[in-house]
Amino acid sequence: MATYQVLAGFHAVTARLRHSPDSIKEIYIENARKDKRMQTLIEQADRQQVKIYFVDVHRLDGLSKGIRHQGVVALAEQRQLAVNVDDVLDVVEGPVLLLILDSVTDPHNLGACLRTADAAGVHAVIAPKDKAVGLNATVQRVACGAADTVPYLMVTNLARTMRQLKERDVWLVGTTDQADHTIYQVDAKRSMAWVMGAEGDGMRRLTAETCDELVRIPMAGSVESLNVSVASAVCLYETARQRLA
C-alpha cells in the first residue's frame, strides 16, 4: 500500500499543484471556506484533474495532525528531486552553491532554510540522515513551496559526502563564532557550500574538520549567535552579493 505525505496549507499545496500535480492523490478542503483564495486553489486543482473532497475542519485537523492547515490538506506521493550530490552537480552550469546543515532537527528551522535557499539560488540542501529532520508536513508548510524546488539530500555519512564534494572542486566553508576570519573574507564566486550547525552545539567536530575554511558572522550586539535559518540567509546572500557584483 502506498504511503503518502501530508501537505498542509495553501503554499505547500499550490506549490505541489504547480510543480507536480500528478503526485497528488487527493485534496481535502474545509467545506465552510468560500473565499477567493480557496476558489482559486479549487480551480487550479480542477484544471489538473485532482480529486477534491469537501470536509469539516475536524477532519482536516486529524489529517494534518495538529499542523496549521488554513483549511486545505493534500495527500501526495513523496518527491525526490535528486538522488545524490552527483545528480545535482552534473546538471549545474557555472559555480555551484550548496547549503549543508549539520544536526538541524527543528522542522521550522529546516523549512525556513529551504525557503531562503530557494530565494538565494541554492542548488541543493544536504543533511545527515541521523541528525536531521525529514520533509514532514511542518517543513513543507514553513518552506512555502521551496521543498518542491530545492533538492533536499539526506546522506548516510556527512563527512564522506563533504569529501566527495571537495573532489568535485566544491569549496566547503563552515561557520563558527570561534573563527578568525569573517564571511566577508570568503571568495564566494567559486563553487562552494556553506556548512551550518544547529544553534547551541553548532557543527560536529568531524564536520568542522572536513571544511576547507572556517569563518564567523560578525556580531555587534550582546547575543552570541543567530538562529540557523537567519545565519544561513546572511551567508547565502553574501554569496549572492558577490556573484551579482
CATH number of residue 61's parent domain: 3.30.1330.30
How far is it, in rounded angstroms, from Cα 214 to Cα 59? 49
CATH number of the CATH domain containing 122? 3.40.1280.10
Let me know whether 16 and 127 are in one domain. Answer: no
Do both 124 and 226 map to the same domain?
yes
pLDDT of residue 198: 84
Task: Give CA 228 to chain center in angstroms.
Answer: 12
The more confident residue out of 120 and 18 is 120
Q: Domain boundary residue among 26, 42, 76?
A: 76
Residues 193 and 210 grouped into a single domain: yes
Residue 121 has pLDDT above 90, yes or no: yes
Mean pLDDT of 202-228: 88
Residue that finishes a domain, picked among 27, 44, 76: 76
Q: What is the pLDDT of residue 137?
A: 78
Q: What is the mean pLDDT of the chain?
A: 89
The pLDDT, as a whole number, for residue 216 is: 93
Same domain as 143, residue 49: no
Q: Domain range holding 49?
A: 5-76
114 is in an annotated binding site: no
pLDDT digits (tens, 9 = 90+) for 37-80: 999 999 999 999 999 999 999 999 888 887 788 899 999 887 77
Question: Are 57 and 117 part of one and the same domain?
Answer: no
Instruction: Please give, one letter per residue, the 3-state secondary structure of 113-141.
Output: HHHHHHHHCCCEEEEEHHHCCCCCHHHHH
Distance CA 213, CA 84 (A): 24
Q: What is the pLDDT at residue 1?
A: 44
pLDDT of residue 2: 56
Number of domains present in the structure of the chain:
2
pLDDT of residue 146: 75
User: Alpha carbon of 158 to those of 19, 108, 112, 204: distances in Å?
Assistant: 29, 22, 21, 10
197 labeled binding residue: yes
pLDDT at 142: 81
pTM tops 0.95 = no
Looking at per-residue pLDDT, the higher value among 40 and 199 belongs to 40
48-68: burial string, b at 16+ Cβ within 10 Å, e else:
eebeeeeeeeeebeebbeebe
